Amino acid sequence: MKLALQIILWANVGLIAYVYFGYPALLLILCQFKGNQPSLPKDNFEPMISMIIAAYNEEQDIAHKLENSLALDYPRDKLEIIVVSDGSTDKTAEIVRNYAIQGVKLVNLVQNVGKASAQNETVKQAVGDILLFTDANVSLQRDAVHKLVRHFLDNTVGCVVGRVTYINEGETGVSEGEGLYWRYELFLRHKESQVGNLVAGSGPIMAIRKTLFEPLDSAISDDFVLPMKSAIKGCRTLYEPEAISSERLYQVNMRDMFRTRVRTIMLDTRSILLCRALLNPLRYPLYALGLVSHKILRWLVPYFLIIIFAVNLFLLGQPFYNLILSLQIIFYALAMGGYLWQKIGKPPRFLGIPFSFCLVNTAALIGVAKFAMGKKSGRWKPVR
């Protein structure tokens, strides 16, 4: 009996170790077998681009976003800028109308239909060969569009994802943890792109061929499903670290960040089900590896942690397993300390990192459970 419990415990430890350390190591190994990457085409490839900016009550940021978009180093006659106001109740639409003389177009939806539905409506009116999706609260570097679209000279490329950078203002434990998580995520995306199995996009800066775009389900994650749709049609998704967008994290509210993570996991889980053909390792070996390792197993980490803790209780009485349980309790106590500390200020890293880890995994625990119970994810409302 004890042997079976030990096998269960260490199997779950092994799965967690694989998610956070084994998979990145496997990507590094696969990159060694990939050989030299093909040389990039020059930046003078300039197809017609439709930049689509989904906005919901963005009166504080939309003017800055449009000024930034108009200042991009890309021919104005080849850059169509469209803002879709998704039922905004503030002055977003009014501000956008002031830029009509500079060629900015407005799609003003009366009701809040959600980001995916708003994007569907806007794509119908877009004239570009390439669709560039970006958010209202991010700024793009002047050469970002050139860096993205140069890859589309290769007909095997269907989608290109840019690099999202975060600037923490009034940094809290939540925003710092988000920044650490994102740096780890960018490392995985870079290596996945080199291997050829990039499994996730970035809503703030992502481009796709218009011919590959299909109307989005309102209950999916657009920046996740678009690369998957591209892969199903036999096209590659690349990560371009030189196409940079920046977003300020300000003083991120823990409750809002938590709700956003839960909602994102629910949407991403549904997205995988819609594109489940990619889980076939015989047809899409690298993409299936990425989806399982980068997404599905990571969402299951909190369940692995619960199993480890529960099984460990049955192994008490053995000094080694007493120590293992003690280490778990200390880690969760540090996380609780980070939770309490962040209410009054930014916790030190030895508290903030365990807190952020537990926050992310609690969101995954609830997100997966809610999806399994058939709960709705709710409408898109950006967190600032």
Using DSSP's 3-state secondary structure scheme, residue 136 falls into coil
Number of other CB atoms surrounding residue 63 within 10 Å: 17
Largest CA distance in the chain: 76
What is the torsion angle, in degrees rounded to the nearest 10, for the CA atoms of residue 377, residue 57, residue 53 and residue 194?
A: -50
Nearest residue to 1 via CA among 317, 319, 324: 317
Would you say residue 201 lies in a domain? Answer: yes
> Residue 36 falls within a domain, yes or no?
no
Q: What is the pLDDT along the chain (384 residues), one digit of tens a residue?
A: 789 999 999 999 999 999 999 999 999 999 887 654 555 656 678 899 999 999 999 999 999 999 999 999 999 999 999 999 999 999 999 999 999 999 999 999 988 888 888 999 999 999 999 999 999 989 999 999 999 999 999 888 999 999 888 776 555 545 555 566 778 888 898 898 888 878 878 778 999 999 999 888 877 777 788 888 889 998 989 999 899 998 876 555 677 778 888 988 988 888 888 888 999 999 999 899 999 999 999 999 999 999 999 999 999 989 999 999 999 999 999 999 988 888 777 778 888 889 989 999 999 999 999 988 887 665 555 555
In a domain, residue 139? The reply is yes
Q: What are phi and psi of 113, to 5 degrees?
A: -105, -5
Q: Return contacts of 218-222, CB within 8 angstroms, 24+ apart.
A: 218/113, 218/114, 218/116, 218/117, 219/116, 219/267, 219/270, 219/376, 219/377, 220/116, 220/267, 220/270, 220/271, 220/274, 221/264, 221/267, 221/268, 221/271, 222/115, 222/116, 222/119, 222/133
Residue 249 falls within a domain, yes or no? yes
Q: Which two tokens stand for residue 241?
A: 């670290």
271 assigned to some structural domain: yes
CB 268 within 8 A of CB 224: yes
- The helix/strand/coil state of 19 is helix
The answer as to whether 177 is a domain residue is yes
Indicate which CATH number applies to the domain containing 219.
Answer: 3.90.550.10
Phi, psi of 253 (to 5 degrees): -75, 125
Neighbours of 33 (CB within 10 A): 7
- The answer to whether residue 242 sits within a structural domain is yes
Residue 175's domain comprises 49-285
Residue 383 sits at φ, ψ, to 5 deg, of -95, 130
Q: Which among 105, 87, 115, 209 has a CA at the least distance from the CA of 154?
A: 209
Domains: count for the chain: 1
This prediction's pTM = 0.85
Tokens 């190994």 locate to 29
